[in-house]
Amino acid sequence: MRDESKPAYLDQLIAKLHDGTAVIGIIGLGYVGLPLTLRYSEAGFRVLGIDIDSAKVEKLNRGESYIENIPANSICAARSVGFQATTDFARACEADALIICVPTPLNPYREPDLSFVLGTVDALLSFIRPGQLVSLESTTYPGTTEEELRPRLESRGFVVGRDVFLVFSPEREDPGNPDFETRTIPKICGGSTAACLEAGVALYESAIDRVVPVTSTRAAELTKLLENIHRAVNIGLVNEMKIIADKMEIDIHEVIRAAATKPFGFTAYYPGPGLGGHCIPIDPFYLTWKARQYGVHTRFIELAGEINSEMPHWVVGKVTDALNQRKRSVMGSRILVLGISYKKDVEDMRESPSVELMELLRDKGAHVDYSDPHVPVFPRMREHYFDLSSIPLTPESLASYDLVLLATSHSAFDYEMIRDHANLIVDTRGVYLECLPHIVKA
């Protein structure tokens, strides 16, 4: 990080952040951007939200929410203190700080797709003015901020760290987690220069309880990847342990519960039908792709990825075996998938393994339905689609299916009723502790 004399714009920006008069611009109003919007509104800032989705913008300006765990009254409260949403990128010049919260998916070759980030920055460039702070929160590989964003800002003639300020601060949202909220989750922040870092810390400490500065944007980018790769590798380990335990006719969930009683040296991770969400299935590939540029083969990370990506196929194998024991084939069977969001008690379906399970079973000739109280109608997704609505769970509806596949263990499900009325259950989440003839643990 280069040393420099403190630029005039920095004092002006920090003063506005400290006294609450700064305007905060949030670009991308999804699962990351919208909670951040509400937090800055709660902290007393006027927030300008920018999104390319006109339907989202119209809902927000009517005081409505499109994320299940964000109530409409929170949107109305933000509106009452000045929050506005728009599709007009030209209004970015009104903001003192611009926080970019857009997707960073993988392309079909499992390589980083920065098109949303770069498209957003390119759309903003004409409207960025001296004295603004730009923060990227989208998860990405180390070097993105310096190699992609900084040159674009400098192409306007700005000197980063003097005229404009650039930081990377990875999002850490966990939708549906009642124990943490945006304000209480510590915020990592790395700057392109010392002045950039000072501006970034001032931005986030005005709304977040604890800000953790690091020495560079690259360190902040790698921090986010380490957090999620740590989870992906450990989930891969426990998924492999599940396969071993299944062969040995041992309940892996019983083993994990027992191991978790050790007060040191063990952290419980739980197996499932595959990885879901916008981070854990994707982030490892951002690092493995970048590591290849340095001649490093990330064998450990890639092996965990292989294990996790194979879990839906392993579960379908268990479904096939369970039906075979009943002298039924997958083809022609009626299968009800319970829970199609990627995690418990949310409606978020990004990278959900349940959807892959549905597709695999459909490809084998099964008649597939689903029940999910958080997803009443199967949404249009970029790569997946079923023309289905959620099936209400009743004793009669459960009994009409040859097999019920428990994929996401929502709290709203009546597990006792499911147990008592389903003909055959394949449980991928360890919900049922008892050993019953019609319950198969997968």
The residues annotated as belonging to the active site are 279
H, E, C per residue of 376-426: CECCCCCCCCCCCECCCCCHHHHHCCCEEEECCCCCCCCHHHHHHHCCCEE
List C-alpha distances in Å: 392 to 332, 366, 367, 395, 397. 22, 20, 17, 10, 7
Residue 89 CA: distances (Å) to CA of 22, 28, 122? 18, 11, 10
CB atoms near residue 358 (< 10 Å): 25
Alpha carbon 167 to its chain's center? 21
CB 391 within 8 A of CB 367: no
Pairing relationship of beta strands 165-168 and 187-191 according to DSSP bridges: antiparallel
Count the neighbouring beta carbons within 10 Å of the beta carbon of residue 8.
12
At what angle are helices 299-325 and 353-363 packed, to 10 degrees? 50
CA distance 165 to 198: 9
d(CA 390, CA 371): 4
* 160 close to 124: Cβ distance less than 8 angstroms: no
Alpha carbons 16 and 433: distance in angstroms, whole number: 56
- C-alpha 362: how far from chain center: 26
Residues 392, 413 contacting (CB under 8 angstroms): no
405 DSSP β-pair partners: 337, 426
In 165-298, alpha helices (H): 194-205, 217-247, 252-259, 283-292
Write the burial class of residue 266 (CB in 10 Å: 0-12 exposed, 13-18 middle, 19+ buried): exposed
**Which residues of 250-358 form beta strands (DSSP E)?**
334-338
Q: How far apart are CA 29 and CA 87, in angstroms?
A: 11
